[in-house]
Structure 1
């Protein structure tokens, strides 16, 4: 017995496919000249359109885009810090931390000085990594909003 090549299509799927080909199509709403009739929508042209569609899909599967639109875990480029800002990590020591960009001007503010003193108490001066502020993110947001009022 000869080997079958390709893939099997069930009767229901095959019937649905042929119904899709044979169904009447609506013409797009556009201005048509009476001298030049529009594209005919017979079954053969629908089969050819379907073949072109399958061909485009096969090309997309075999030759994917060079930029797939997603970033793999661990391969994300670190966000560059703009001039006049510093990256600060905000969060509890045992919990989740978030990276925030803070303008350098705010480091002289007394409220931010209190946050830095709290960081010194928890981590000390020899803390590896960036500046980490041990407070909840909501507290940091409240203080950051106060900075913007001044």
Structure 2
């Protein structure tokens, strides 16, 4: 008997796509493309996007999974920044992720 976790599977697909896209973009400098092991980059913001490097453990959080679902609805798997783009205000993202760190 097996269990499927659709939101985790979707998150893994997003991360795999992000990895493939970041390898294929030669215009990104080496330091900009580097992400520590156990982390991934996301771009957040409405008009101007800001890059955040967040721990993979955020993928287990239902609130973060909801953000990823919104990203999938808006961008599909073709993210204009070449990485995971989360369509929310920067302040809201910082507020949400700061709660992950405090709990």
TM-score range, shorter chain: 0.5 to 0.7
Q: Which has the larger radius of gyration?
A: 1
Rounded to whole Å, the distance in 1 between the matches of 2:95 and 2:78 is: 28
TM-score in terms of structure 2 length: 0.65
Higher relative contact order (CA 8 A, sep 6+): 2
Greater fraction of residues in strand: 2
Query: How far apart, in 2, do the equivalents of 1:100 and 1:123 lie?
Result: 18
Q: Which stretches of structure 1, 4 residues or more, deviate above 4 A after TM superposition?
A: 74-77
Q: Which runs of 5+ in 2 are unaligned?
A: 1-26
1:57 paired residue number: none
Q: 1:109 deviation in Å?
A: 0.3
- Tell me the TM-score normalised to structure 1 length: 0.46
Deviation per residue, 1:28-48 (Å, 9 max, x gap): xxxxxxxxxxxxxxxxxxxxx
Corresponding residue for 1:15? none
Alpha-carbon distance, 1:89 to partner: 0.7
Partner of 1:81: 35
The Cα shift of 1:115 comes to 0.5
- Which residue in 2 is equivalent to 1:130? 83
Compared with structure 1, are the counterparts of its residues 76 and 147 closer, same or farther at alpha carbon in structure 2 (3 Å cutoff)?
A: same
Aligned to 1:110: 62
Q: How does 1:1-150 map to 2 (within 5 A)?
A: 77-79=30-32, 80-92=34-46, 95-127=47-79, 129-150=82-103
- More helix per residue: 2
Cα root mean square deviation, aligned: 2.0
Consecutive unaligned residues of structure 1, counting only runs of 5 or more, are: 1-73
Question: How far did residue 75 of structure 1 move?
Answer: 8.7
